[in-house]
Amino acid sequence: MKFKAPLISLFSILILILSGCTTPVAIDPQTGAEQTAIFKAGFFYATIEADSSDIFRAAITKMDELGYFRTGEIHKNTYVSIYARKVGDQKVVVKIKQIAPAQSELRIRIGNLGNLPESQFLYASIRDAL
């Protein structure tokens, strides 16, 4: 029982660090565009200038082309979530939310803790398909 309090404190600090860290990410450094995305707590957040229905069609097409095994979709009034698995049985979640006319937010998480390089690659593939 002596280790219970320090263990709880350590776990609480770890949760605060993982949930509070936000990393700005350059989306397309090759073109020199000033767009940035956010990588926060394992999720990659970025906006795309397109309607969510167009992004949805591009996302499922690209995910199939990249070898992801799509396992399901959830269509709600305000968002669409696409669930898939990749090699190594890692979970892939893409959430598309319409935030304004012709502007949507894309949220990507690959694996349990998130995978920034692969999330950027998936985002760029979806954006290029539009």
- Predicted local distance difference test score (pLDDT) of residue 92: 94
* Model confidence pLDDT, tens digit, residues 86-125: 888 899 999 999 998 888 999 999 988 888 888 888 998 8
CATH code that applies to domain 22-129? 3.30.310.80
Burial tier of 3 (Cβ tally within 10 Å: 0-12, 13-18, 19+): exposed
The pTM is what? 0.76
Does the structure show a pLDDT above 60 at 1?
no
126 and 59 Cβ atoms separated by less than 8 Å: yes
